[in-house]
Amino acid sequence: MKKDRKRILEHLQNSSLVQIRHNELPEEGFSRSDTAAQLQQFDRNTGLMKQALKILDKTVPEKKGLLASFKGRREIEPEDIGKIASASPKVVGICNKIIDLEKQRADTAAERIRLKTLLAQLEPWKSLDIPLNTSDTATTAVFIGTFPKMFDDVSLSEALAQDEDLVFNYEIFFSSSVLTCAVIYVPKTQREQAENILRTLGFTRPLNPTSKIPSEKIKRLEKKDNELVKKISEATVNIQKYAKYRMSISDTLDYYNLRADKYRVISELDQSRNTFILYGYVPEEDEKELEAICLKAADCIVEFTDAGDDAPVKLKNNKFAEPAESIVTMYSPPSKYDIDPTPILAFFFYFFFGMMFSDAGYGLLLVIATTIGICVFKPDKQMRNNLKLFQYCGVATIFWGLVFGSIFGDAPAVFYKMFTGNEITMAQLLPWPTLDTQKDALTIMILSIALGLVHILVGMGCKFYVCIRQKKYAEAFFDTGLWMTMLIGFAILAAGLATLPVLITIGEIIAIASAAGLVLTQGRGKKGIFGKLIGGVASLYDITSYISDLLSYSRLLALGLTTGVMAQVFNMLSTLMGTNVIGIIFMIVIFIAGHAITIGLNALGSYVHTMRLQYVEMFSKFYEGGGKKFEPFSVNSKNFKIKKSDKN
């Protein structure tokens, strides 16, 4: 019923279960409300509050810690929304006062600029003892003004003496390379002659001649300027008094944004005189919860149908994969033809990041920092997932750091030598076998390519599965399956070169058989036997793109090597001053600063290059994207979140 509209919309907004669906036209017999006037009022109020907050931030900057961005929104009770609503007119009035004070301050500052300009114009004339607008006497013509270049007594006298009959006298009050201020006196009978000469010299009268002596005018303007400074200071102090309302203004801004969202939904409703219909999308798993919420809110009918091909996408993953959803949506949500790549991406993202960052000390710091951020700041879901993403990356980094024998580079070995004088290596210190990124570079390169092959094959396997699900069997077996077996054949062949010769034969058979299958099937869309054969043979050229993709995984070695070498360089530098007091202080400073630089640079590089391996090397094999993200009607606030209650 229409009378229950407000209550139902509030419950739906608080539940965040439904994305409102837009229908171009209302159902027959229904109409839609025009909420443009209300939305305009909300926009006006939110604009007012944003402006007031901006003024407060400029005048009274809020003291925030470096880690404030990790802090989640504060939680409020549902009834607190009513308190914010009832106080909103007062808050609007406060915002108007803040804006009025800022306008007063701005106008006063503009007036000061005008005064400063006048003072600058009067400054050259401060020693003049007559007003700038002094008129002629009964017998003498007076010219007060400026020349656009430098004159001294000699040069000005010569310039005025161009007319031999002209009788004149003058005083120079100021002279610079671009300006000369002077007063010229001539007999009144020779005014016209003087004007002609002065015109040729570029003489101009003051723009704002005053009836006061310049020194007196300067004193009056300076006094007025001091008054304006005081006025600006008073306005600033008054603005600062409103800083205590910053939270109330922010909350009210959120409140009006929530109301605006609600009225946008109202404009989408099909309404009759007494009833209304709301269309939306809901995840299938939330059907019962949504129905229960609606039936508790009011007597209503809830119907569920298939969402259709245009349905938005809501990703659902376990705690291990969920943090990587942001990486997927940053690329593009999956389309209706795709599978959710998040679980696969999550594993490889953590794994490859750890291999590139590759230092157990750095990984431990990453885990500790993200754990503190999650436990202390209690961030909102999105920030929490971002922290969890790097927490898992930190765990993988610890693993690979131990594999490569890197704990803050070779810090344990370096400090052992520094304080004992005995040489030792990380391999000798650690009780398990390790790989040295420098000495075992070839081994790690082979490992990187092997991991890349697995990564690509997993992507191709996803493509195979998608094709089977869509009943595209020829595309699955011929276009994807044969390439997978060919790559596997090459891998077995390569393994045989290093181990058992029999594997070479097996690999050759698999690779040749796959190549033959590709030649026979890849030209199936062409006309004629010759066209099919040419198309099949030409398809083998794609092997170059797979080789290129595999070589991209050499970055796993490259970034791992970079992290280790940079860490070792800073470790070496930190020991240069020896073990005396100054040397220890030097060691601590260089160690902390050097490793901070290494962490910053290599964490960023690992993140970017790991993402590239997912997007370019794996996603290109199976993932289309292009889906629409599920965006439910919810409480989209920046400053507070409403505590969920079971009372409603």
Residues 520, 467, single domain; the answer is yes
Averaged over 172-200, what is the pLDDT? 92
State the maximum Cα–Cα separation within the chain, in Å, rounded to a whole number. 125
Q: Which domain holds residue 144?
A: 133-205
- The Cα 74–Cα 36 span in angstroms is 31
Whole-angstrom Cα distance, residue 547 to residue 543?
6
Q: What is the pLDDT of residues 308-343, one digit of tens each?
A: 888 899 999 999 999 999 999 999 999 888 899 999
CA–CA–CA angle 637, 639, 640 (5° rounding): 75
Q: What number of helices (H) and strands (E) belong to the chain?
A: 23, 9
Residue 16 within any structural domain of the chain: no
The span from the CA of 48 to the CA of 35, in Å, is 20
- 3 state DSSP class of 640: strand
pLDDT given for residue 647 in this prediction: 47
Determine how β-strand 640-642 pairs with β-strand 74-76.
Answer: parallel
Q: The tokens 């201020």 sit on which residue?
A: 181
What does the chain come to in residues? 648
Q: Is 572 in the same domain as 548?
A: no
Residue 25 has pLDDT above 90, yes or no: no
Contact 342, 328 (CB under 8 A): yes
Between these two residues, 550 and 75, which has the higher pLDDT value?
550
Question: 443 with 571, same domain?
Answer: no
Average pLDDT rounded to a whole number, residues 79-92: 91
Looking at the structure, tell me whether residues 499 and 559 fall in a common domain.
no
The yes-or-no verdict on residue 578 having pLDDT over 90 is no
Asked if residue 581 and residue 541 are part of one domain, the reply reads no
Question: Which of 552, 582, 610 is the last residue in one of the domains?
Answer: 552
The pLDDT confidence band at residue 29, using thresholds 50, 70 and 90, is: confident
Number of domains in the chain: 3
Among the listed residues 38, 18, 28, the one whose alpha carbon sits nearest the alpha carbon of residue 264: 38
Q: Confirm whether 329 is domain-assigned.
A: yes
Res 339: pLDDT: 92
Angstrom distance (rounded) from CA 597 to CA 82 = 50
Q: Which residues make Cβ contacts (< 8 Å) with residue 352, sequence separation at least 6?
A: 451, 556, 610, 613
| pLDDT tens profile 47-60 | 999 999 999 999 99
- Interatomic CA distance for residues 397 and 359, integer angstroms: 6
Q: What is the pLDDT of residue 648?
A: 43
Whether 521 and 568 map to the same domain: the answer is no
DSSP-assigned letter for residue 25: S
- Is residue 365 assigned to a domain? yes
DSSP letter for 439, please.
Answer: T
Two structure tokens written together for 399:
């693993």
**486 found inside a domain:** yes
Q: How far apart are CA 425 and CA 416, in angstroms?
A: 10
Examine the pLDDT at 405 and tell me if it is beyond 80: yes
Residues 431 and 320 in one domain: yes
Residue 145: helix, strand or coil by DSSP?
strand
pLDDT-derived band at 240 (thresholds 50, 70, 90) equals very high
Judged against a pLDDT cut of 90, whether residue 456 lies above it is answered with yes
Boundary residue ending a domain (205, 234, 266): 205
Q: Are 565 and 548 found together in one domain?
A: no
Burial class of 126 by CB neighbour count within 10 A (0 to 12, 13 to 18, 19+): middle
CATH number of the domain at 175, please.
3.30.70.2750
CA angle 287, 290, 296 (to 5 degrees): 140
Neighbour-count burial of 198, counting CB atoms closer than 10 A to its CB (0-12 exposed, 13-18 middle, 19+ buried): buried
Indicate whether 525 and 602 sit together in one domain: no
Q: How many alpha carbons fall within 13 Å on the CB side of residue 287?
A: 8
pLDDT in tens, 593-621: 999 999 999 999 999 999 999 999 999 99
pTM to 2 decimals? 0.81
> How many Cβ atoms sit within 10 Å of the Cβ of residue 634?
18
Q: Hey, what are 517's tokens?
A: 């299958």
The span from the CA of 10 to the CA of 504, in Å, is: 68
**Same domain? 431 vs 327:** yes
**Do 344 and 423 sit in the same domain of this protein?**
yes
**The pair of three-digit structure tokens given for residue 133, joined into one six-digit string:** 């607008």
479 found inside a domain: yes
Specify if 346 maps to a domain: yes
Alpha-carbon distance of 152 to 392, in angstroms, equals 80
Least confident of 92-96, 526-530, 606-610: 526-530
Q: Do 404 and 564 contact (CB within 8 A), yes or no?
A: yes
Same domain, 488 and 585: no
In a domain, 560, yes or no: yes
Mean pLDDT over all residues of the chain? Answer: 91
Buried b (16+ CB within 10 A) or exposed e, 502-511: ebbeebeebb
Going along 158-197, which residue ranges are E strands?
169-175, 180-187
Specify the pLDDT at position 172. Answer: 92
Look at residues 205, 234, 263 and tell me which one is the last residue of a structural domain. 205
Distance CA 447, CA 553 (A): 10
User: Angle at the Cα of 140 (from 139 to 141), degrees rounded to 5?
Assistant: 135
Nearest to 556 by CA among 397, 402, 322: 397
Query: If residue 271 lies in a helix (H) or strand (E), which one and from where to where?
Result: strand 270-271
**Given a cut of 90, is residue 559 above it in pLDDT?**
yes
CB crowding 585-614: b at 16 or more within 10 Å, else e: ebbeebbeebbeebbeebbebbbebbbebb
End-to-end CA distance of the chain: 18
- Comparing 96-110, 161-175, 268-282, the range with the smallest average pLDDT is 161-175
Model pLDDT, residue 645:
59
| Structural domain includes residue 53 | no
Distance CA 553, CA 449 (A): 6
